[in-house]
Amino acid sequence: MLDRPSLLLDIGNSSIKYAWYTFPEEIADLRIFRTSLDSIEALLEQAANCWLCSVVNEETSLFIAALCGKAKIPFHQTRTQAVQFDISNAYAQPQNMGADRWMVILAGAALRDRGEQTNFIVIDAGTAITCDFVVANKHLGGWIAPGLSMARTAVVSQTKRVFDQGQLLDTLTLGNDTPICVAQGALAQLSGMLLQACNIMQSYCSKYELYISGGDARVLISTLAKSENNSACVNINYVENLVLIGLAKIAHQNMAKND
Ligand SMILES: Nc1ncnc2c1ncn2[C@@H]1O[C@H](COP(=O)(O)OP(=O)(O)OP(=O)(O)O)[C@@H](O)[C@H]1O
Ligand SMILES: CC(C)(CO)[C@@H](O)C(=O)NCCC(=O)O
Ligand SMILES: [K+]
């Protein structure tokens, strides 16, 4: 059983992603796959154990736990902590913070340890976009906002004459008809969030790293790269899935302890 890898599961609001982790592999080298609830049982048959990060209902976690019981393998679910790996959480009630955000913060810390910077911003541009700030091992707080797709849907659904044709653009320009104005408006909101994040971080520290992942990460990076006024945002690192890297870090630590 021990020659089998750990199954790392990220259950988000709209999709499920997973990766295999074999101790003591490098945690930054994960290959990411998408799956569905129906396919998890088959994955567990090949796993030594399972690590879950979920932001959906408790029933789903109980379902995965039961599948692990059936496969006779250990089940672990990560929860947001007040302090973990020397990083302290700014929430007065850490349990209120989505476990995915905490994994993303721990992933930022793990990736940062390989470089020089101790300060970092982590952004997860998924269904919702979240942004969290860590300076000298202290999480200072963060933001939650609609993701690109949700922002576009929101403005269309709450107005009469605004419509969207779903164009995917990665250059910020000024729209001259309704659907382009919608596509550009959402892009301006989200890339503006990145710029504000960098501006605010500079008031805390002169050097920091920025890690960004999620379905909209690439579009946001190329939008900023093509903008003229992006000097605040430097050192942007794209990572396919920070949640799973955070989970790998915890799985790694747990196995190192029991080694
Ligand atoms: N093929 C695609 N399908 C769905 N969303 C996509 C696709 N390509 C890019 N996106 C963008 O990705 C965003 C969703 O990101 P991602 O796939 O990381 O989220 P998710 O897995 O649904 O999020 P969560 O983890 O919160 O459930 C949407 O805002 C959308 O604009
Ligand atoms: C913000 C999301 C939806 C991002 O996936 C998730 O982290 C979540 O449900 N969070 C709970 C609220 C909070 O983090 O404060
Ligand atoms: K998300």
Number of domains in the chain: 2
Output the CA 100–ligand 2 centroid distance in Å.
7
Count how many residues are written for the chain.
259
User: Is there a single domain that holds both residue 248 and residue 237?
Assistant: no
Q: Is residue 11 part of a domain?
A: yes
Helix (H) or strand (E) holding 148: helix 148-157
Q: Are strands 209-213 and 120-125 parallel, antiparallel or unpaired?
A: parallel
CA-based nearest residue to 83, from 75, 91, 71: 91
Is residue 187 pLDDT above 60, yes or no? yes
Please report whether residue 203 resides in a domain.
Answer: yes
- Please check whether residues 215 and 109 belong to one and the same domain: yes
- Evaluate whether residue 71 is within a structural domain: yes
In a domain, 108, yes or no: yes
Nearest-5° Cα angle at 236, 235 to 239: 135
Question: Which residue numbers belong to the known binding site?
Answer: 10-17, 91, 98-101, 124, 127, 178
pLDDT tens, position by position, 39-63:
999 999 999 999 999 999 999 999 9
Contacts by residues 16-21 (CB-CB < 8 Å, ≥ 24 positions apart)? 16/40, 17/241, 17/243, 17/244, 18/43, 18/244, 19/241, 19/244, 19/248, 20/47, 21/51, 21/247, 21/248, 21/251, 21/252
* Ligand 2 atom having least distance to the Cα of 100: 7
Q: Which domain, by its residues, includes 144? A: 83-241
Most distant CA atoms of the chain, gap in Å: 62
Same domain, 91 and 56: no
Residues 159 and 182 in one domain: yes
Q: Among 15, 101, 167, 247, say which to mutate for ligand 1: greatest number of ligand atoms within 8 Å of CB.
A: 15
Asked whether residue 145 is domain-assigned, the answer is yes
Pocket probe mutation, ligand 2, options 14, 97, 104, 212, max atoms within 8 Å of Cβ: 97
> Using omega within 30 degrees of 0 as the cis cutoff, is the peptide bond preceding 94 cis?
no
The conformation of residue 53, written as its DSSP 8-state character, comes to: E
For residue 248, what pLDDT band results from cuts at 50, 70 and 90? very high
| 183/95 same-domain check | yes
pLDDT of residue 1 exceeding 60: no
Is 1 part of a structural domain of the chain? no
Residue 166 lies in a domain: yes
Residues 60 and 180 in one domain: no
Residue 194 counted as domain residue: yes
pLDDT band at residue 258 using 50, 70 and 90 as cut-offs? confident
For residues 222 and 103, membership in a common domain is answered with yes
**CATH code, domain with 31:** 3.30.420.40
DSSP state, residue 84? E
Pair 161, 217 in one domain: yes
Ligand nearest to the CA of 148: 1
Shared domain for 105 and 218, answered yes or no, is yes
Encoding tokens for residue 86?
Answer: 């020397």
Asked whether residue 95 falls in the same domain as residue 205, the answer is: yes
Same domain, 99 and 57: no
Q: Are residues 51 and 143 in the same domain?
A: no
- Give the ipTM: 0.94
pLDDT tens sequence across 4-35: 999 999 999 999 999 999 998 888 889 999 99
